Every structure is written in C-alpha cells, then in structure tokens.
Chains A and B, each alone.
Chain A
Amino acid sequence: MGKVLIFGTNLASYRAAANLARAGHKVVLLNRGEFIWDKFTQMQWQQPRDIINGYSKGFLKNVMMATGNIEVYHNSSLLSVDGQPGNFKVRFKTRLPTVDEFKCIGCDICLEKCNAKHMPRPLGPGIYFVENPEECLDVCPVKAIQIPKEEEKEITVDAVILAPEYEPEEISKYVGNVENVISFRDFAFMFRGKGVDKRFLKRKDGKYPHRLGFFIPGGFENFLGSSEEYVIVFREAIFMKEMDPELEVHIFVKELRLYGHNQMKLYDEAREKGINVHIIDNVSISEENGEVKFNDVALDLLVVMPGQKVPEDWKDIIKASGIEEENGFARTKPFSLETTRDGVFAIGEFVKPVSSTEAVYHGTAIVPEVEKYLKPPEKPQIPNFEFVRDDFNPRVGLFICGCAAKNLNIDVDVDYISTKDFLCVRGEEIIKEIKENNLNRVVFAACSPAVRGSMLEMLAMKAGIHPSYVELVQLREYVSRVGGDDRKANALVKAAIAKARKDYFVEVPVTATKKGVAIIGGGLAGLLAARYINGRVGVYIITDEFDEPHDITGVKEGTLNMSEEELKEWYENLKREALQKSRHIKGKVESIEGTLGNFRIKVGDEVIEAGVIIIATGGEITEKGNHIAGRFEGNTLHSQIGSILAKRRDKKVTYEFMKSYSLLDLSPPEGERGEGEPIGYVKAREYNKEIASLLGLRIDEDGFFYFAQEPLHNVERMGIQFFLAEEPFGGVFVAGLAHRPMSIEEEMEEAGFAAQSAIFLMRDIESPAGKLVSTTNPRRCAGCGICVDACFSGARFIDTEDKIAKVNPQLCLGCGACANVCPSGAAVLVAYRADHMFEMLKEVVK
C-alpha cells in the first residue's frame, strides 16, 4: 500500500483521489478552500449547470466512506516538498473548517442554537458555517463542529500529485468595458437551477435580448483555451435556439476547435438550426444606442466565454514543489504526466489547457503512472454478512428519525415501530432492536440517501437484513423541509411499508472475470496500454504488425520539439517494454464470443480468454488530402494534428477551421486562410469495420469507433465520461487513432484510461449491480428478444440452449428498461416489480 498526496481539487483530482483509493492506496487530499468545491473546477466556471459538478463531489465522498482511504485537509497551502520518490516529506499549512462536511448530517440544530449559516448544495446536506464554534461543540449530535486552528503539518508520502484549479480570464481583457457584455458564467447562472426558459433570459436593464451573440476569444492574440469552450458554447447556442426559435443567435470564433469524436456535428446542427457562425480574424466591439456592435453585427446581449489564465499562485506551487515550469504550467516528461522531478506528477489544467474529458483521462491514467513508486496494495477485506432470508413472512420494522420527522405525526400499522432522535448515531440500538424483534424487513424514514442512505443500509446489513429488504423514505427532503403535511408523510411511509412487505430476496450473482486484457490491433495506443498494465494481468496483443510512430507528437515543449531520432528511440523502448510483459499473437481476429468478464477471441487456431478488450487498431497518416484542417470530402480531419505537424515541420499553414490548439495558442504556427497544401490527415482502418461487426459496436461515417455507448448526441462533450467511467462500458474500450485523429500525447491519456479501467474491472469484488439487477422469469419468457434491443448496456442476450433471455449481472445497471418493454412480463427489475409499484400506488394516493 502506498501513500499519495494530491494538492488541489480540479476535475482530474477528484477522479485521481477516488481511483487511487479504490486501488487500495492511501490518499491525502489537500483542498484549498473552506469546503470541497469552494475553489471551482473548470467545469463549475464554464458550465455551472452541468450535472457533472454534482457528481464529482458525491463520487469522492462515496469512495471516501466506502474505502476509508482518503484523508482531506481544508484551507491548505503547500509549503515544501523534500526528499525522494517513496519518501517525500511534504510540509503544508492547513486550517479546519468550522463544520466537518463529511460528518455533517444537515440536522439544522446548529442553525437553531448557534450563530450559523447554511448554503444548499446538491447531493448532500449542504454546507454549514458556524460563527461561534467554541460555544457550539456540544450542540452537534455527530460532533461535526470543530474549532478552526491554523497549523503546519509535515507528512511522509511516496508520491505527490499536483492538481491546482483552473481560473478564467477576466472578460474585460478581451472586450474592454462595454455595456451588455457578460461572461458565460453569468449567462449560465441566469438559468441555473431554474431551467432553460424564456422568462429568465434578461439583460441588466430587464429587457429580453432578441439578438444574442456568443464570443470565444481563445485563439485571438495568444489567449489560451481548450476545446471545451467551443463545445459548451455550441451546445448552449442550440439550447437557446430551441428555447426560442425567434431568437437571433450568433457565434463569433476564430477557429472551430471541435476535435473530439463527432463534435463537428455540433457545428452542423447549429447551422441547421439557423445559428449564424462567424469565423473571423478581427474583432471590434463597441456600444451604440444601447446595442452591442460586434464588427458589423448588432446585438442586444453578448456572452463571452473566457479562456484559461495562468493564476498568480501557480508560481508559488511550482516553487514549493520544486518542479520546472513551461509557460506557467508544469513541465512534464515527454508523453507522461510526471513532471521533470521524479515522483511529482501534474494532472488536469495544471499540465495544459484541457477539456473535461481529458481531465477525467488524466485522473485515471495517473494511477498506473504513480504506482511505479508505490508498494502493491493489500488485498481488500470483504466483510462477510449472514442474511435472514424469508420472502413469505414479512415482519416489517419502521425506524423514524426524529430529525427528519420534525413536527410530523406518523401513524401507521406495522410490526414494530421506533422513533429515535438521530438514527445515524444510534446504530447499536437499531441493530439490537432489529434482532430482538425478529424483523426481516426494515423501513427507515429518514433523510436523503445522499446523506446517510448507504450508512443506514450498512446498519441493516450488520443486523442480518439484506439490502433488498431495506427501504428508505426521504421524510426530511421530501416532506418536512418543503412544507409537507402529515397526510403526505403517512402516504409515503405506508407506500414504503407496502413495498417492503412485497420485497423478496435478491441474490447478487457473481460471474467470474477472466483476468486478461486482449488488445486488438497494433496501434500505438495498444502498446501504451500494455505498458500501463505492466503485467498485472495477462495482456494479449493481437496484430500482424505494429504501426510506425506517427509524428503528431503533442503540444508540450518536450514532445513538440522532439527530434525524429528521439521519437524513434522512445517508440522502440515502448515497444520493448510493452512486449516484455505481454504476449504478441499474430493473426486476425476471426470471432469474438461472450461479454464483459468472459470474452473468447478466436485467432487462427488459438482461443484467447479475456475479461476486457481494448481496441487499438491505429490509423493511417497520409499526406493526401485537400486541406489540412476542418473537413473535406469523406474525412473529418481534424485539425489539431495539422497544427502540430505544421509546427514540427516549420511549415506555413493555410487554415479554414482551425490553426492552433491548447498550448500552441501561445506560439501558433504561421498561417493564413484559404486553400492550401495538405500536410497530413488520419484515415481510419478498414479493419475497424470487421471488428465493429464482430463486437456489435458502432463506427461513424469516417470509420472511427464510437467510444463505448456514446449516444447519438455528441456525448464526448462535457465530462460525461466522469460517471460513465463508473460503469463497465460493456468491457470494451477504444483508444488512440481507432477513436479519432489525435496526438500521441492524447493517445497516452486515452490508453492510460483504458488500461486502468480494465484493471479496475478485474478487481476481486462482487458485481457492481447490487440489488437493482434485472432478471427473467423463465416460465414467462418467450425468447422474443425485445428486451435485448431495449438494453442499452448489452446485459441481455438470448441463451442459445434455453432460447430465453438471460442477464449478465455484471453489465446490468438496473435501469429497468427491459421490464418495461417485455410484453409477457417476464423481464423484471427485482426491486421494482410491477406488483411493488401497484402496492405503492394504492397507498400513495390515499
């Protein structure tokens, strides 16, 4: 087990902390604010309405509670990092917040008895501040109130990860001080929490803007920016047009950085919807008679999406951690997240301007990178519970939390009823009462599951009640806090009791996962993934030949200025290391059977058994084409590769859609608009089609794979991978040029993500599905296959022998779509059967 210090809480940091903790390492997280989220991540600045913001924090909290491996220090600043990898002495300053947000249950007692304030936040009790903590220590039932004291600490860790947060540029720097010009964040806040609606779109003077403009300054005059700004602005512009088709919407950009997979579709969609996209070279913004004049377009309101700035305090971080800088960012070793100082890593927006997807990749790929300095983790202890099983004689116990049922009068008919002031601190009593009264069903009438749900479920498990026999009623958030009355409270509690009586025991089946990763194709990303896995599980690389390294290297100095020889040497090293610990199998894939955990891949005479497949078929870099950027017939070329090549080969480029990218913004290649000589573009392999049909995956019109279950609507926007990464992806990952044109730097990120996710999927624990798995009633199933089509995660299949639908519980995520479409009522989501629902409905309408 190793110990890692993570400084800062950007989007990549949340992910890294959780991933390292789940891999069994100890994590010390230094948070720079009073609470987690106090310092905004890139996503919170750029798109405060996106759901990912809620998930990032909730996710960290869940992992923290489940593993106990994360330690958080608030209000901290880094003082120094001394020593060597495996033995770093890190000194930092920290101050306790007045309320420990991880202990707080949101009971509001401090609001009544102390001088306290509350700030609501999604997925949790919200944040509390106590002005007079000294006098309030005994007020809090869970002892979450603490006295803030500045202190200096020194700890010893094996490795250090730096992940300080993003800051946006002031918009006045781009546009000066003009009336009716606002930043994107202020614009997004108009709708925040309230929904996109015409009523909320207003100028400062209260008028509705009939002409709305969006301006992205990234790319003009060395302003830094990532692709994220473009994705968010295009998506938002489309929302605006959908909200009010009469609205005149303009977008002003210098270039289109929609280089993620299928993101150019956003541009097409915007134009189809009648949004005016202006690709311009010069900007003049002025004010005339209460309207904004952007070049010669008159607007009522202009929204500016600022790019990234390099915050002043990054200098101190760079100094304290003893690393080198590059244009204000952390300098890293070529194709690595490690800084030039061994054992000190940088992730997220501290490396270069990144999109949220890239940040999520960083947070995952960092695990194998850091692990070379860490001792292997101990095997986790899986607690062994014995459960009562009785589907026919329900004895339901109702436990009401006094904090949730404030002023409510619950009067129900049930086998056992107990009201306690704070359920979550009275665990022992609850377990005793459950056992003494021979209960086999438990209903907790308490607060939101985001606060104490998993903890109450754990209590029941300790008392021998299986989670499938536990129901939770959110009395506090659904009734007492929102002006609910006794009638509503009783209806909800009665419904839960009715459901509990109908509950039946659901055994969570565990399918054995074959420990092995099959990498299909000889792309660079495959070798990178093999090296990341490093022999921890068996690796099979199935390909006839390996791609030569292409020279779309990356935007960081160390990679961009790498010579051909250095690149070749790096590649040879990579290939040697990757092949040392994996098996190279020559041949083409003939057939693939099975699903996640049990793939059987036939190559020639051999059948390879693997749990996870990584597709890395690579791509061809050709010099034939009409244009280096944007799109031309039959190819969605992107773009950033043109600028990297131009820079590397010192060529002057012509561009239509784009010329620079990420750190290249600071010294873009020389260029002008118009037709030009081709420099290079990526062509997808024909082989992709074969693999896609074998695995039932989708490929886009240019031949690139969709990443797992990308929905049709440009999923790669935003960090949707953030929560998709929690799901098994069907056990198939796509990395590198098989996915989209990208630089080696990006291939490294994507390969690391695939490798670490593969290892995570092969850990020794039960299926993630839990009680929400779906099953088939064999007596009713006709084998029609409708449920197979309805299942988005590929968990359902028609058994070839029995000719009925079966479920792979490792893939099932419990959405219940199959139960809904099944014409014969054979497919059921076990915790939400129709009779459950009917019983609940009967009670709930009373």
Chain B
Amino acid sequence: MSEKEFEPVIVGFFCNWCTSAAADLAGTSRLHYPANIRPIRVMCSSTVDPVYLIRALQEGADATILGGCHPGDCHYISGNYKARRRVVIVKTVLKSLGFDEDRVLLEWISGSEGPKFARVMNEYTEYIKKKGPSDFKYVDSLGGE
C-alpha cells in the first residue's frame, strides 16, 4: 500500500435515462477515465436511498457519486429533485458525525454528455486520490474485524 499509488474505489449510482446513457456514450466514444469508478445502474436517482450511499462507504468505498438527469429533464418528472434533497441530508449527517461530506457527490449528466461524464469521473477520482482513503470504512472494523 505504501509504495503503490492509492487507488480509491468509487461507487457510482447512475440513473438509467441520463447518466447511464452518458456512461454508455463515453464508452462508445472510447473516452478513457479511471477504472476506479464502479457503476451501478438504477432506474432513477430517486431510487437511491441515503442508506445505499452510506452503506457503500461503510463497505469500503472511498467515495460515492450519484448521477441524475438535469433539473426539469427527469424521466419521472421530479425524481432528481428528490435525490438532491436526500444528498443534502446525507452530507449534513456525514458532516455532523465528523466525516468528510465531499465523499458524496451529486452530478447532473444528461444522456448526450459523454465527454462531461468522462471529465467528471477524471476530476473526481483525482480529487479523491489527493484526499486519500476514506476513514469511514474503519468505523466498521473498530467492531473487531
């Protein structure tokens, strides 16, 4: 670990209609981005329970990213607004517990924004690499593991 560069694991929850399509387009356009991103396709950004975000960090992810449609473009009319409210709450909770709230990121990436997808993934991975490993996962290991 000490010699090797830190390789974070970032879990991405991407909505089916916009951000997953953008991830697809990034793939079709052969835009390389770090392999640290582990995408999970969900139907809508509002499907993502705050618990999922926290559980991902708990299971050992160094950061999570939630991708939805641009405001007003949600396939389910208002799902992305719900997601936005929840992410604010998750961030507040993380912060008040003394954890780093920047490890949860919310981004609007529409289906035609393949290059934006790759850019966001690049920038966020760089950012997390600089930050170093998340201290959240050690909470679990205090219990005995």
Residue A713 contacts which of B25, B28, B41, B72 (CB distance < 8 angstroms)?
B72
Across the interface, which residues of A come within 8 angstroms of B18, CB to CB? 51
B51 at the interface (CB under 8 A from A): yes
CA distance A193 to B23 in the complex (A): 11
Contact with A along B100-137 (1 / 0, CB 8 A): 00000000011111111011000000000000000000
A486, closest chain B residue (CB):
B35
Give the residues from 778 to 833 in chain A that come closer than 8 angstroms, CB to CB, to chain B.
790, 792-793, 813-817, 819-820, 829, 832
B52 & A816 in contact (Cβ 8 Å cutoff): no
Q: A478-B27, A482-B26, A815-B79 are in contact. Are A844 and B11 (CB under 8 A)?
A: yes
Contact with A along B61-95 (1 / 0, CB 8 A): 10000000101111111110010001000000000
A820 & B112 in contact (Cβ 8 Å cutoff): no
Q: A478-B27, A820-B47 are in contact. Are A51 and B73 (CB under 8 A)?
A: yes
B24 & A485 in contact (Cβ 8 Å cutoff): no
Across the interface, which residues of A come within 8 angstroms of B141, CB to CB? none
Distance between A341 CB and nearest chain B CB, rounded to angstroms: 39
Residue A492 contacts which of B29, B34, B39, B71 (CB distance < 8 angstroms)?
B39
A195 at the interface (CB under 8 A from B): yes
Residue B78 contacts which of A49, A120, A711 (CB distance < 8 angstroms)?
A711
For A, the interface residue count at a CB cutoff of 8 angstroms equals 62
Distance between B133 CB and nearest chain A CB, rounded to angstroms: 12
Residue B112 contacts which of A51, A492, A842 (CB distance < 8 angstroms)?
A51
Residue B44 contacts which of A123, A450, A488, A817 (CB distance < 8 angstroms)?
A817
What number of A-B contacts does a CB cutoff of 8 Å give?
180
CA distance A694 to B130 in the complex (A): 57
A487 & B35 in contact (Cβ 8 Å cutoff): yes
Distance between B116 CB and nearest chain A CB, rounded to angstroms: 4
Residue A815 contacts which of B21, B41, B46, B72 (CB distance < 8 angstroms)?
B46
Across the interface, which residues of A come within 8 angstroms of B11, CB to CB? 841, 844-845
CA distance A194 to B120 in the complex (A): 10
B29 & A120 in contact (Cβ 8 Å cutoff): yes
Give the residues from 7 to 61 in chain B that come closer than 8 angstroms, CB to CB, to chain A.
9, 11, 17-18, 21-44, 46-49, 51-52, 55-56, 59-61
CA distance A450 to B116 in the complex (A): 20
Q: A476-B27, A478-B23, A816-B44 are in contact. Are A841 and B55 (CB under 8 A)?
A: yes
Distance between A511 CB and nearest chain B CB, rounded to angstroms: 21
A477 at the interface (CB under 8 A from B): yes
A840 at the interface (CB under 8 A from B): yes
Residue B38 contacts which of A193, A813, A844 (CB distance < 8 angstroms)?
A844
CA distance A170 to B35 in the complex (A): 45
B21 & A122 in contact (Cβ 8 Å cutoff): yes
Distance between B92 CB and nearest chain A CB, rounded to angstroms: 18
Across the interface, which residues of A come within 8 angstroms of B60, CB to CB? 845-846
CA distance A814 to B79 in the complex (A): 12
A89 at the interface (CB under 8 A from B): no
CA distance A834 to B56 in the complex (A): 12
CA distance A477 to B117 in the complex (A): 13
Across the interface, which residues of A come within 8 angstroms of B74, CB to CB? 711
CA distance A122 to B109 in the complex (A): 13
Across the interface, which residues of A come within 8 angstroms of B61, CB to CB? 841, 844-845
B30 & A482 in contact (Cβ 8 Å cutoff): yes
A813 & B40 in contact (Cβ 8 Å cutoff): no
Distance between A728 CB and nearest chain B CB, rounded to angstroms: 13
Q: A488-B38, A815-B44 are in contact. Are A711 and B72 (CB under 8 A)?
A: yes
Contact with B along A467-492 (1 / 0, CB 8 A): 00000001011110111110110011
Report which residue of A126, A483, A815, A832 has the largest number of chain B beta carbons within 10 angstroms of its beta carbon. A815
Report which residue of B37, B109, B113 has the largest number of chain A beta carbons within 10 angstroms of its beta carbon. B113
Across the interface, which residues of B come within 8 angstroms of A54, CB to CB? 21, 111-112
A2 at the interface (CB under 8 A from B): no
Q: A123-B21, A834-B51 are in contact. Are A842 and B59 (CB under 8 A)?
A: yes
Across the interface, which residues of B come within 8 angstroms of A834, CB to CB? 49, 51-52
Contact with B along A125-160 (1 / 0, CB 8 A): 110000000000000000000000000000000000
B40 & A815 in contact (Cβ 8 Å cutoff): no
Report which residue of B59, B61, B86 has the largest number of chain A beta carbons within 10 angstroms of its beta carbon. B59
Residue B40 contacts which of A125, A482, A495, A814 (CB distance < 8 angstroms)?
A495
CA distance A642 to B34 in the complex (A): 58
A193 & B114 in contact (Cβ 8 Å cutoff): yes
9 contacting pairs across A/B (C-beta < 8 A):
A120-B30, A125-B28, A193-B115, A195-B109, A478-B23, A713-B71, A817-B79, A837-B40, A841-B56
| Interface, chain B (partner A; CB < 8 A) | 9, 11, 17-18, 21-44, 46-49, 51-52, 55-56, 59-61, 69, 71-79, 82, 86, 109-116, 118-119
- The 5 nearest A-B residue pairs measured at CB: A477-B27, A816-B47, A483-B32, A120-B29, A195-B116
Beyond A120-B29, A122-B25, A126-B28, list 5 extra A-B contacts (CB 8 Å). A49-B110, A723-B75, A837-B40, A841-B40, A845-B56
